[in-house]
Structure 1
Protein backbone atom coordinates (compact mmCIF):
# COMPACT_ATOMS: atom_id res chain seq x y z
CA UNK A 1 0.00 0.00 0.00
CA UNK A 2 1.72 3.23 -1.12
CA UNK A 3 1.93 6.02 1.45
CA UNK A 4 2.60 9.59 0.30
CA UNK A 5 3.58 12.05 3.05
CA UNK A 6 3.34 15.76 2.24
CA UNK A 7 4.95 18.25 4.61
CA UNK A 8 4.03 21.85 4.00
CA UNK A 9 3.80 25.16 5.78
CA UNK A 10 0.42 25.67 7.40
CA UNK A 11 -2.01 28.14 5.92
CA UNK A 12 -3.63 26.37 2.99
CA UNK A 13 -7.39 25.94 2.96
CA UNK A 14 -9.17 22.61 3.41
CA UNK A 15 -10.14 22.73 -0.26
CA UNK A 16 -6.53 23.27 -1.34
CA UNK A 17 -5.43 20.32 0.79
CA UNK A 18 -8.22 18.20 -0.69
CA UNK A 19 -7.06 19.15 -4.20
CA UNK A 20 -3.47 18.21 -3.31
CA UNK A 21 -4.59 14.81 -1.99
CA UNK A 22 -6.72 14.11 -5.07
CA UNK A 23 -4.01 15.20 -7.51
CA UNK A 24 -1.31 13.12 -5.83
CA UNK A 25 -3.56 10.06 -5.69
CA UNK A 26 -4.53 10.41 -9.35
CA UNK A 27 -0.94 10.98 -10.45
CA UNK A 28 0.42 8.00 -8.51
CA UNK A 29 -2.38 5.72 -9.69
CA UNK A 30 -1.94 6.89 -13.29
CA UNK A 31 1.80 6.30 -13.30
CA UNK A 32 1.92 3.02 -11.36
CA UNK A 33 -1.46 1.46 -12.07
CA UNK A 34 -2.11 1.02 -8.34
CA UNK A 35 -5.78 1.10 -7.35
CA UNK A 36 -6.48 4.58 -5.89
CA UNK A 37 -8.32 2.89 -3.00
CA UNK A 38 -4.94 1.53 -1.87
CA UNK A 39 -3.06 4.84 -1.94
CA UNK A 40 -2.72 6.68 1.34
CA UNK A 41 -1.84 10.37 1.49
CA UNK A 42 -1.07 12.32 4.67
CA UNK A 43 -0.72 16.09 4.74
CA UNK A 44 1.30 17.43 7.64
CA UNK A 45 1.08 21.15 8.21
CA UNK A 46 4.00 22.71 10.01
CA UNK A 47 3.79 26.18 11.53
CA UNK A 48 6.24 28.68 10.04
CA UNK A 49 7.80 29.04 13.49
CA UNK A 50 8.85 25.38 13.34
CA UNK A 51 10.29 25.24 9.82
CA UNK A 52 13.52 26.89 8.84
CA UNK A 53 16.02 27.24 6.05
CA UNK A 54 19.58 28.48 6.41
CA UNK A 55 19.13 28.78 10.18
CA UNK A 56 16.12 31.10 10.04
CA UNK A 57 12.47 30.18 10.48
CA UNK A 58 9.98 31.02 7.77
CA UNK A 59 8.12 33.19 10.31
CA UNK A 60 11.28 35.23 10.90
CA UNK A 61 11.91 35.52 7.16
CA UNK A 62 8.33 36.74 6.63
CA UNK A 63 8.64 39.29 9.45
CA UNK A 64 11.95 40.51 8.04
CA UNK A 65 10.48 40.88 4.54
CA UNK A 66 7.48 42.80 5.92
CA UNK A 67 9.78 45.16 7.83
CA UNK A 68 11.83 45.79 4.68
CA UNK A 69 8.68 46.62 2.68
CA UNK A 70 7.72 49.44 5.05
Structure 2
Protein backbone atom coordinates (compact mmCIF):
# COMPACT_ATOMS: atom_id res chain seq x y z
CA UNK A 1 0.00 0.00 0.00
CA UNK A 2 1.67 3.27 -1.08
CA UNK A 3 1.53 6.04 1.50
CA UNK A 4 2.25 9.59 0.31
CA UNK A 5 2.81 12.52 2.65
CA UNK A 6 2.35 16.04 1.28
CA UNK A 7 3.51 18.97 3.39
CA UNK A 8 1.88 22.32 2.64
CA UNK A 9 1.75 25.74 4.16
CA UNK A 10 -1.62 26.47 5.73
CA UNK A 11 -4.23 28.27 3.69
CA UNK A 12 -5.48 25.86 1.02
CA UNK A 13 -9.22 25.40 0.71
CA UNK A 14 -10.97 22.07 1.25
CA UNK A 15 -11.63 21.94 -2.50
CA UNK A 16 -7.91 22.36 -3.25
CA UNK A 17 -6.95 19.64 -0.77
CA UNK A 18 -9.65 17.31 -2.14
CA UNK A 19 -8.33 17.82 -5.69
CA UNK A 20 -4.76 17.25 -4.50
CA UNK A 21 -5.69 13.93 -2.88
CA UNK A 22 -7.55 12.81 -6.02
CA UNK A 23 -4.70 13.71 -8.38
CA UNK A 24 -1.91 12.33 -6.20
CA UNK A 25 -3.86 9.10 -5.80
CA UNK A 26 -4.34 8.82 -9.56
CA UNK A 27 -0.66 9.53 -10.29
CA UNK A 28 0.61 7.02 -7.72
CA UNK A 29 -1.86 4.39 -8.85
CA UNK A 30 -0.89 4.86 -12.49
CA UNK A 31 2.87 4.82 -11.93
CA UNK A 32 3.00 1.97 -9.39
CA UNK A 33 0.11 -0.14 -10.66
CA UNK A 34 -1.31 -0.06 -7.12
CA UNK A 35 -5.11 -0.03 -6.91
CA UNK A 36 -6.36 3.48 -6.11
CA UNK A 37 -8.23 2.14 -3.09
CA UNK A 38 -4.88 1.09 -1.59
CA UNK A 39 -3.19 4.51 -1.99
CA UNK A 40 -3.15 6.65 1.16
CA UNK A 41 -2.45 10.39 1.02
CA UNK A 42 -1.61 12.33 4.18
CA UNK A 43 -1.67 16.12 4.11
CA UNK A 44 0.40 17.85 6.78
CA UNK A 45 -0.18 21.58 7.06
CA UNK A 46 2.49 23.86 8.48
CA UNK A 47 2.36 27.38 9.78
CA UNK A 48 4.51 29.83 7.77
CA UNK A 49 6.36 30.35 11.07
CA UNK A 50 7.60 26.76 10.83
CA UNK A 51 9.03 26.86 7.30
CA UNK A 52 12.02 28.68 5.89
CA UNK A 53 13.64 29.16 2.49
CA UNK A 54 17.03 30.69 1.78
CA UNK A 55 17.68 31.30 5.48
CA UNK A 56 14.41 33.15 6.16
CA UNK A 57 11.06 32.06 7.49
CA UNK A 58 8.25 32.40 4.96
CA UNK A 59 6.25 34.36 7.54
CA UNK A 60 9.00 37.01 7.63
CA UNK A 61 8.64 37.78 3.92
Structure 2: tracts of 5 or more residues without a match: none
- What do you get for the CA RMSD once the two structures are aligned? 0.8
What TM-score do the two structures reach when normalised by structure 2? 0.93
Equivalence for 1:39: 39
Deviations 1:4-55 (A, max 9, x none): 0000111000110010000000011111210111111000110101111122
Matches for 1:5-24 after TM superposition, within 5 Å: 5-24=5-24
Equivalenced residue count is 61
- Larger RCO: Structure 1 or Structure 2 (Cα < 8 Å, ≥ 6 residues apart)? 2
Q: As a proportion of its length, which structure holds more helix? A: 1
Runs of 4+ off more than 3 Å: none
Instruction: Give TM-score, length-normalised by structure 1.
Output: 0.82
Structure with greater Cα Rg: 1
